[in-house]
Amino acid sequence: MRATPQVDFWLTVVSFNLTFIPQFFAGVAGMPRRYATYAAQFTTLNRVSTVGAFILGLGLDVAIWGLVRSLKHGAKAPANPWGASSLEWECASPPTHHNFDAPPPVVTPYDYTGLVDLGEGRGWVREAAR
């Protein structure tokens, strides 16, 4: 089974609200904080909050599983995946000891002229560096 980021997002959002909204209502109804035992009138809200907390833990497990799976089996990111034009994206990845073999062209951070998409997830490069 392959969980999508959307499944994890909705699982986490719904369970987060299922965990903390009942706590809010219990507090408004007069339940004190940090008590080991509580009045019987708060049992339902506390049970709903507990179920939400377990589902929230499951949602976070799904996110961690997706992270580990992508680290082991995911595609490697190109050197400049977003087409950024600032200087740090001109470095090799992983960076060499001295960062640059030759001085890179210094441009303003918002100068996108000369950036070319190599396509198919290979990233962006400056036209002169092709």
- Cβ atoms of 12 and 60 within 8 Å: the answer is yes
Q: How many Cβ atoms are within 10 Å of 107's Cβ, its own excluded? A: 16
Domain ranges of the chain: 5-73, 76-130
- Profile the chain (130 residues) by mean pLDDT over runs of 10 residues: 80 96 95 88 95 95 90 85 81 77 78 84 74
- Does this model's pTM top 0.75? My answer is no
